[in-house]
Amino acid sequence: MNKHSLTAILVGLGLSFGLYYIWFLAQQREMGSPQLPETVARSAENPSATSTVSSAQGAVSIEARIASTHLSAGATRTHVLLHARTGDSATRTVRVPSNVVLVIDRSGSMAGAWIENAKLSAEHVLDSLQDGDRIALISYATDAQIDYPSTLLNSSSRSAVRNTIRNLRVGGGTCISCGLTMGQAQLSKGQAESGVSRVILFSDGQANTGIVDLDQLASLARDIERSGSTVSSVGVGLDYNESLMMQLAVSGNGNHYFVENPTQLASILKEEMNSLQQLVAKRVVATFELAEGVTFIKGYDRPFEVEGRRVFVSLGDMPASSERTALFEVSLPAGPEGMRMLSTLSVGYEDLVASKAQHVEHSLSYIATSDLESINRGVDHVVLARLEQAKLADTLAEANELIRNGDVEQAKSTVRKQIQLSRDNNMVYGSTNLNLQIEILEEAAGEMDAPAMATGKGRSAGVKKNVERQRSILY
């Protein structure tokens, strides 16, 4: 081989390696990986660790991340983040049938403007549905009754449902469990033929009849969610139990709304129906199979179910242009240095765009090491920013307890302290979404300065707004 040929080969190899290296770094940036060039240079130490995995299969893009690419070889803890995203509504080609059950409080305290506006809102839901969709109307007071059973809408049934709505009468106590149980039974009648199902629950008071325990009521909402539907809650006025109504939405994987003025009901229901009719994925459920020795510690912001080493979490139904997250903490066992498996991941959902079931599988691994520099360099700021988001929600809950006890100044101080901490941390994380959540806390802190907070009515409204904000941050 002559000198010129050898030179050409070496130049070609150099160019090939350079192009590959540029491509590799571009892929890392696209995936949002925290891995730096120094870590890439050490790839012989870890040729296949996957602390960040992603897939864009079907209507939902799935991404899972560990809080660091490198973790202590000794016993330690870390966080796992699951992130699901859907594309723009323009990708939607078919509108699937809806199955809606309205569960309306008709207790005595709903008399007057509240029940009249609840009726108008129910009619708005009716008018938002198309022929071929299903609707049922349940009302509850001391007990519940089926005002109109689940039925397919057409010109005749639509008129009959409208008349039933307009004839609702108030009187009695507040049996939320009665309404949910009866609503679930009606919901099941239309699930087989409908693409998406939802219970929309209204309440203006405290659960004082039937099941009154918060955890048991949340369990009812969870049962409905497991059946393939979601539960959204609408709290009206200043006397309802905001903790209960939010927990119903959390357990039912739905939305929660606070309606201070009865005239707001129509716009709230419009928002809810828009989210229902733009769904692209139904019941997005993830299963993590933790590796031997890895233990689930706690989940944040939504219900997790743990069976042995299996961790299940539902992200619910997803409309177009939306995202859902699930965050949880695990403990890792001590062991030798090197690559270790943390978990396998399986995500399944019904793709309403492609009209088929989708299934995505990944594995998550990390490098066990005693090198503190590698551990610090491998930190994933996306996961830490999401953990900071959970702290914001916890801060609102803490502030609400202080407000309920009349200590508005301490509540405001608590919120502003967390705002400053989160802003400082986000100087490192650089998360646009975290900035948006911080602004929600800024809004809450600003309202604590309002003169209305000096009154019981003002404090009650402030607490309920904060609960709605808390659900927004978590969802």
Q: Residue 192's pLDDT is what?
A: 65
d(CA 320, CA 354): 14
Is beta strand 230-236 parallel, antiparallel or unpaired with respect to 196-203?
A: parallel
| DSSP bridge pairs for 351 | 281, 356
Q: Residue 205's pLDDT is what?
A: 78
Q: Residue 381's pLDDT is what?
A: 96
- The answer to whether 74 and 334 are in contact (CB under 8 A) is yes
Q: Residue 457's pLDDT is what?
A: 92
Q: State CA 103 to chain mean position distance.
A: 22
pTM of the model: 0.84
d(CA 401, CA 404): 5
Q: Is 292 helix (H, G, I), strand (E, B) or coil?
A: coil
Q: What is the pLDDT of residues 428-446, one digit of tens each?
A: 999 999 999 999 999 999 9
Q: Residue 11's pLDDT is what?
A: 41
Among residues 416, 366, 400, 367, which one has the least CA distance to residue 469? 400
**Alpha-helix residue ranges (DSSP H) falling in 252-371:** 265-277
- Residue 216: φ, ψ to 5°: -70, -40
Q: Residue 358's pLDDT is what?
A: 93
Tabulate helix, strand, coil % of the chain (nearest 5): 45, 30, 25
Please spell the DSSP secondary structure of 337-350, one letter per residue. SEEEEEEEEEEEEE
Q: Residue 17's pLDDT is what?
A: 42
Residue stretches of the chain with pLDDT short of 70: 1-49, 89-94, 192-194
Annotate 258-294 with b (16+ C-beta within 10 A) or e (fewer).
Answer: bbeebebbeebbeebbebbbbbbbbbbebbbebbeeb
Q: Residue 23's pLDDT is what?
A: 41
Place of tokens 């009468």: 169
Among residues 336, 375, 338, which one has the least CA distance to residue 39? 375
Q: Residue 94's pLDDT is what?
A: 61
d(CA 369, CA 131): 61
Q: Residue 126's pLDDT is what?
A: 92
Q: Residue 471's pLDDT is what?
A: 87
Annotate 213-222 with b (16+ C-beta within 10 A) or e (fewer).
Answer: eeeebbebbb
Q: Is 335 helix (H, G, I), strand (E, B) or coil?
A: coil
Q: Is 210 helix (H, G, I), strand (E, B) or coil?
A: coil
What is the number of other CB atoms lying within 10 angstroms of the CB of residue 226?
14
Tell me the CA distances in angstroms from 263 to 116, 260, 306, 401, one per residue in order: 10, 9, 43, 29
- The H-or-E segment that residue 429 falls in is helix 408-429
Among residues 238, 284, 244, which one has the least CA distance to residue 262? 238
